């Protein structure tokens, strides 16, 4: 399973189990470090309920409650469904993302006001997702495969009282929203504490920070994730109130029919 709750990953990505072999080799090169961080937790499925607190530039806040379900398909491709539960203005909105063999994701959204499922076009990938600081691209790139980027170790420094690797990642192709990312990874636990995301002009666009982790069913799970949009002065903080691993999830949940009806057939 690649993705915890999409947000646990914008570290993306990610549902992760501790990877002993990767961790032992992580000090050798930047790619191993990234793979160790992206492979800390394993689960057959992940189900969660989260609160999204959106903070405007003037400090005012709005809150949304979402449920999320994640499960790989038979080919190992990650699939995630997000269901908005509140407030009433967004209740019933459902979003589906499915990874494909090209290393990208196919995405669909159901908006109750339109009454139909709409596929998200590639030209929309940089747009804000439901008024948050996440883009549509962010929703599928938090658990971005290490092989899609070229990684280098910039330095080592202390963050959150922990000694961290600071890794720069440059995309190998031109179809990614960001020109580079810089990630702070704990040298001992391989937790991700911070990630800077730079736009196509190489300016700092967003900053992601993971402020809290908690042991849930034996997994060291991120429980508070904040992403800030630098130029806008806004932020979105995700509070993972409930996370469950390995609960059965019907296959029918990961379909456009479920988006439209809210029922798994």
**Could you report the per-residue pLDDT of 201-260, keeping only the tens digit for each?**
999 999 999 999 999 999 999 999 999 999 999 999 999 999 999 999 999 999 999 999
Nearest one of 28, 88, 38 to 64, comparing CA atoms: 88
Percentages helix, strand, coil for the chain (3-state, rounded to 5) are 15, 45, 40
DSSP summary character for residue 157: E
Decide if pLDDT at 172 tops 60.
Answer: yes
Rounded CA-CA distance 122/126 in Å is: 9
Joined tokens for residue 125: 């990938």
Rounded CA-CA distance 198/204 in Å is: 4
Q: For all residues of the chain together, what is the average pLDDT?
A: 86
Q: What is the pLDDT of residue 84?
A: 96
Q: What is the mean pLDDT of residues 50-77?
A: 94
Among 52-66, 82-96, 141-155, 200-214, the least confident range: 141-155
Decide if pLDDT at 198 tops 90.
Answer: yes
Give one DSSP letter per residue of 95-153, joined into a string. EEEEE-TTS-EEEEEEETTTTEEEEPPGGGTTSBSTTSS-BTTHHHHTT--GGGEEEEE
Q: What is the pLDDT of residue 122?
A: 76
Rounded CA-CA distance 190/213 in Å is: 12
Share above pLDDT 70 across residues of the chain, in percent, rounded to a whole number: 86
Q: What is the pLDDT of residue 14?
A: 37
Q: What is the pLDDT of residue 13?
A: 41
Q: What is the pLDDT of residue 142?
A: 60
Q: What is the pLDDT of residue 230?
A: 97
Q: What is the pLDDT of residue 11?
A: 42
Residue 29 host element (H or E):
none
Burial tier of 131 (Cβ tally within 10 Å: 0-12, 13-18, 19+): middle
Q: What is the mean pLDDT of residues 97-108?
A: 82
Count of alpha carbons within 13 angstroms of residue 105, beta-carbon side: 29
Q: What is the pLDDT of residue 15?
A: 34
Rounded CA-CA distance 66/61 in Å is: 16
Q: What is the pLDDT of residue 245?
A: 96
pLDDT digits (tens, 9 = 90+) for 122-164: 777 677 889 899 988 787 656 677 888 999 999 999 999 999 9
Q: What is the mean pLDDT of residues 20-26?
A: 43
pTM of the model: 0.85
Q: What is the mean pLDDT of residues 195-206?
A: 95
Contacts of 174 (CB under 8 A, 6+ apart): none
């Amino acid at each position: 399973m690649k993705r915890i709750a999409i947000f646990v990953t914008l570290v993306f990505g990610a549902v992760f189990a501790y990877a002993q072999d990767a961790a032992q080799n992580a000090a050798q090169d930047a790619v191993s470090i990234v793979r160790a961080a992206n492979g800390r937790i394993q689960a057959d499925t992940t189900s969660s309920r989260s609160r999204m607190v959106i903070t405007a530039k003037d400090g005012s806040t709005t809150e949304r409650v979402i449920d999320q379900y994640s499960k790989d398909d038979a080919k190992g491709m990650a699939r995630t469904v997000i269901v908005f539960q509140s407030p009433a203005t967004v209740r019933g909105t459902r979003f589906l993302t499915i990874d494909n063999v090209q290393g990208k994701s196919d995405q669909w959204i159901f908006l109750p006001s339109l009454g139909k499922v709409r596929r998200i076009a590639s030209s929309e990938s940089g747009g804000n997702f439901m008024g948050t600081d996440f883009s549509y691209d962010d929703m599928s790139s938090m658990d971005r495969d290490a092989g899609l980027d070229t990684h280098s170790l910039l330095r080592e420094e202390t963050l959150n009282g922990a000694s961290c690797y600071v890794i720069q990642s440059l995309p190998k192709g031109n179809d990614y929203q960001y020109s580079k990312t810089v990630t702070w990874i704990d040298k001992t636990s391989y937790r991700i504490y911070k990630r800077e995301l730079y736009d196509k002009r190489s300016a700092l666009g967003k900053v992601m920070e993971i402020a809290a982790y908690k042991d849930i069913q034996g997994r060291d799970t991120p429980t508070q994730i904040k992403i800030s949009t630098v130029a806008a002065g806004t932020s979105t903080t995700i509070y993972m109130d409930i996370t469950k691993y390995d609960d059965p999830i019907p296959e029918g949940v990961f379909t456009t029919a479920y988006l439209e009806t809210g029922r798994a057939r």
